[in-house]
């Protein structure tokens, strides 16, 4: 099973990534709910990197690499955007306030943080790596 993929920063590639993660995890016979949650968490990070970090610049690429270690799913998502995500700035959203002001965004990382067991962001120069971990059941 192929466990690595490179995509250009076009939001149409979100479907490519979801299918890639789904195909990789098919061998592990996860429940529909857990499979969907992991795909969603990856989709959210990739969407943020494509749209916000790389501004949908198709000359830029994301590299994704997946693995399974002792029943823990791991995925690394790498890019070279100048703007890197700062987890320390994360705030839990107030959804009632989002509804009141009609806010469209701002809940993607909440989904990622609530779904995955561990979420890491590291930056070396302009090279950014996001690592997500989830124990599968």
Partner 1 sequence: MKINQQTTEDTLTLSLDGELDASSSVLLDTELTKPEVLDYKKVLVDCQRLNYISSAGLGVFISHLQRFQDANVKLIFFNMQEKVHNVFEILGLDALMTIVPSEAEATAL
In terms of phi and psi (left: phi > 0; alpha: psi -120 to 50; beta: otherwise), the region of 120 is: beta
Residue 129 contacts partner 1 per CB under 8 A? no
Report the residue number, 67 or 94, with the smaller CB distance to partner 1: 94
| Interface with partner 1 (CB under 8 A), residue from 2, 82, 91, 104 | 104
| Interface with partner 1 (CB under 8 A), residue from 2, 29, 91, 100 | 100
# residues contacting partner 1 (CB under 8 A): 33
| Interface with partner 1 (CB under 8 A), residue from 2, 32, 86, 125 | 32
| Interface with partner 1 (CB under 8 A), residue from 59, 86, 96, 124 | 96
- In the complex, the smallest distance separating the C-beta of residue 40 from partner 1, rounded to whole angstroms, is 6
Residue 95 contacts partner 1 per CB under 8 A? yes
- In the complex, the smallest distance separating the C-beta of residue 8 from partner 1, rounded to whole angstroms, is 14
Give the C-alpha separation, 124 to 121, whole Å: 10
| Interface with partner 1 (CB under 8 A), residue from 9, 20, 25, 37 | 37
- In the complex, the smallest distance separating the C-beta of residue 67 from partner 1, rounded to whole angstroms, is 24
Three-state SS letters, the chain:
CCCEEEEECCCCHHHHHHHHHHHHHHHHCCCHHHHHHHHHHHHHHHHHHHHHHCCCCCCCEEEEEEEEECCEEEEEEEECCCCCCCHHHCCCCCHHHHHHHCCCCCCHHHHHHHHCCEEEEEEECCEEEEEEEEECC
């Amino acid at each position: 099973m192929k466990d690595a993929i490179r995509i250009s920063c076009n939001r149409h590639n979100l479907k490519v990534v979801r299918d890639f993660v789904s195909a990789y995890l098919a061998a592990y016979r996860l429940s529909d709910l857990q499979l969907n949650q992991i795909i969603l968490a990856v989709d959210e990070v990739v969407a943020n990197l494509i749209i916000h970090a790389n501004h949908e610049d198709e000359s830029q690429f994301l590299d994704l690499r997946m693995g399974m270690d002792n029943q823990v799913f791991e995925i690394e998502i790498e890019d070279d955007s100048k703007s890197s995500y700062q987890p320390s700035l994360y705030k839990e959203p107030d959804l009632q306030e989002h509804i009141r002001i009609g806010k469209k965004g701002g809940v993607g990382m909440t989904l990622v943080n609530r779904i995955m067991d561990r979420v890491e962001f590291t930056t070396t120069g302009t090279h950014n790596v996001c690592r997500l971990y989830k124990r599968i059941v």
